[in-house]
């Protein structure tokens, strides 16, 4: 997205809006795992995320980001698990506050070839392992809140019933 457009979004609302997928799966012993990708700029471990897309519902845009950034296919929830904030550094060096809505996605399969495979690494982590790797405190807390019994979270429970 162009820097000018992002700055216009922020000037209207004081915070830019992004969407993200939380790609999840259960291992053989029933523990939830989270699929993370590295960011293109810094190589930090992040959730697949991006800007809202015209003519797409927020959860559908998050599903597209999971496919493009991680090669993940599956069922995505239409209700967010929560949101978190971070400060995005733009190409011109300016910093923009961003709120990210996080949508759970049950991964059914991973593509071997996907759009950003040459720019990113993907890897499965435990919830605690994922929480240890993120920089955003709100995202860390959200991940840790799922560690006890993620299937009891209403948004995940509803997604499991639907898929």
Residue by residue, DSSP assigns 8-51 as HHHHHHSSEEEEEEEEEEE-TTS-EEEEEEE-TTT--EE--EEE
Residue 3, pLDDT score: 53
Longest CA span, the chain: 48
Within a 10 A sphere around the Cβ of 122, how many other Cβ atoms? 19
Count CB atoms within 10 A of the CB of residue 67: 20
Tokens of 94: 């300016």
What distance in Å separates the CA atoms of residue 48 and residue 62, rounded to the nearest whole number?
8
Rounded to whole angstroms, the Cα distance separating 129 from 151 reads 18
- Tokens 């995005």 correspond to 88
Q: Is the dihedral of CA 128, 132, 135, 141 positive or negative?
A: positive
Exposed/middle/buried for residue 38 (C-beta within 10 Å: 0-12, 13-18, 19+) = middle
Count CB-CB contacts under 10 A for residue 8. 12
The stretches in the chain having pLDDT less than 50 are none
pLDDT at 152: 79
């Amino acid at each position: 997205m162009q820097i000018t457009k992002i700055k216009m979004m922020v000037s209207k609302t004081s915070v830019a809006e992004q969407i993200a997928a939380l790609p999840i799966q259960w291992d053989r012993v029933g523990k939830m795992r989270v699929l993370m990708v590295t960011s293109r700029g810094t190589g930090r471990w992040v959730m697949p995320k991006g800007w809202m897309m015209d003519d797409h519902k927020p959860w559908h845009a998050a599903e597209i980001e999971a496919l493009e950034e991680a090669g993940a296919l599956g069922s995505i929830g239409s209700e967010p698990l929560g949101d978190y904030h971070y400060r995005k550094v733009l190409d011109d060096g300016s910093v923009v506050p961003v709120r990210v809505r996080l949508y759970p996605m049950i991964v059914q399969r991973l593509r071997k070839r996907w759009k950003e495979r040459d720019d990113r690494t993907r890897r499965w982590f435990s919830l605690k392992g994922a929480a240890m790797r993120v920089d955003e405190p709100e995202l860390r807390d959200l991940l840790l809140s799922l560690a006890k019994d993620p299937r009891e979270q209403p948004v995940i429970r509803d997604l499991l019933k639907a898929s």
